[in-house]
Amino acid sequence: MNRIENAFKNKPIFMPYFPLGYPDLDTSIDVIEALAKNGADLIEVGLSFSDPLADGPVIQHATQIALEKGITVKKSLEAVKELRNRGVDIPLILMGYYNPMLAYGLEKFVRDAIEAGADGFIIPDLPMEEADEFQSALGKLGGRVDGDDLSPSYRDHPLIPMLAPTSSPERMEMIARDAKGFIYLVSVTGITGERKSLAEGLGKLIAQVREHTSAPVCVGFGIGTPEQAKEVGKMADGVIVGTACVRTIGGSEKPVETAKQFAAEFRSALNHIPK
């Protein structure tokens, strides 16, 4: 059982997002460690990019600061390795855009990411229909890597598929059927950001996806409070919280302490869902 599969033994899981390099690299590593050790079940580790098309103003601002402070893909992967060295043992999914990965070199990126301790990848601007090159890079690492039998595979280090309310039934079936790891279900159309209320028809949308897959279905975009997380957690296998996490922690004078409290509050809300 890999780390992702193990995380979903206690559903619904809490999955925060936080970008490396914000407000600076050392603090971001400390924040992610605090989230991991105080209630997060899986973390989306953000790789900053200058044109983050799927992100709203809060995350755009954070990743821009990270870039201004000198964050790079190489430094980000070194940070993932540091988190593993600190005893962070929950899944760490790299969430970033395709262009920096191409510039780094796809095969080298995948190899270095897995060796650093990443468990999977989320690439918002890479449709699954156009992901053959990335999947091929994963497939080429199916054997020995630098003398170590890591045996990474698509199944163990998956490219996580994303689905949205605008996905056609045919596309939803095709992507859900082949999903590995889990499915990232975007609850609303548009960019990331907190919403005052949950999207109408979310339960129906989750049910539609589940008709075509046994993979866990996790919901993101628009979830900003523990109460909203609890409502989503009654329907989904996981709750993804990005903007609220970045805004709350990034705006704090004591970001690490705030991260501990943030993770604990969301995990507590999910723990109080009747089984």
* Catalytic positions, written as ranges: 44, 55
Check if the beta carbon of residue 55 is closer than 8 Å to that of residue 64: no
DSSP letter at 47 equals P
Task: Annotate 232-254 with b (16+ C-beta within 10 A) or e (fewer).
Answer: bbebbbbbbbbbbbbbbbbebee
Distance (Å, rounded) from C-alpha 71 to C-alpha 65? 9
Structure tokens at 23: 């407000």
The helix-helix angle for 25-36 and 73-85 (nearest 10°) equals 40
> ∠124-128-129 over CA atoms, to 5°?
130
Check if the beta carbon of residue 27 is closer than 8 Å to that of residue 55: no
